[in-house]
């Protein structure tokens, strides 16, 4: 569902559960993707990135999956903690010499203790 006021997609999970945040990107020529986390009152922070020649990449408690066929990106957070509560953005970079990073809409993740 959507958060009234912010109009952001929202995801509410219990502490300890796994979270999956989805992102549909727009440009089939994009060759690099990044997930950012933005806590309230702060700037976005890098979480994990993936190149278009990969379909999966793992970090610490996070996994990014890329499905180029349907232009879909997902971020999986294992054992979600209250500190994971934030807005999560995916970003895509077009291929070639276009250096512009374009951000998606953002998803608000709320972790209930």
Partner 1 sequence: DTAVSQTPKYLVTQMGNDKSIKCEQNLGHDTMYWYKQDSKKFLKIMFSYNNKELIINETVPNRFSPKSPDKAHLNLHINSLELGDSAVYFCASSLRLGGFGAGELFFGEGSRLTVL
Residues that bind partner 1 in the complex, under the rule CB under 8 A: 6-8, 32, 34, 36, 38, 41-46, 49, 51, 87, 89, 91, 93, 97, 99-103, 105-106
* Residues 30 and 58: beta-carbon distance below 8 Å: no
- Structural tokens at position 32: 């690099």
Neighbour tally for 73: CB within 10 Å: 23
Give the H/E segment covering residue 99: none
**Toward partner 1, which CB reaches closer, 62 or 91?**
91
**Toward partner 1, which CB reaches closer, 17 or 103?**
103
Least distance (Å) between residue 85 CB and partner 1: 14
């Amino acid at each position: 569902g959507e958060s009234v006021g912010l109009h952001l997609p929202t995801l509410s999970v219990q502490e300890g559960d796994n979270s999956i945040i989805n992102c549909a990107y727009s440009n089939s020529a994009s060759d690099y993707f990044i997930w950012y986390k933005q806590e309230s009152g702060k700037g976005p922070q890098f979480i994990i990135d993936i190149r278009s020649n990969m379909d999966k990449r793992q970090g610490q408690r996070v996994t990014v999956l890329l499905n180029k066929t349907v232009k879909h990106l997902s971020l999986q957070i294992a054992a979600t903690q209250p500190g994971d509560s934030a807005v999560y953005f995916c970003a895509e970079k077009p291929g070639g010499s276009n250096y512009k990073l374009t951000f998606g809409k953002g998803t608000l993740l709320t972790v209930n203790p």
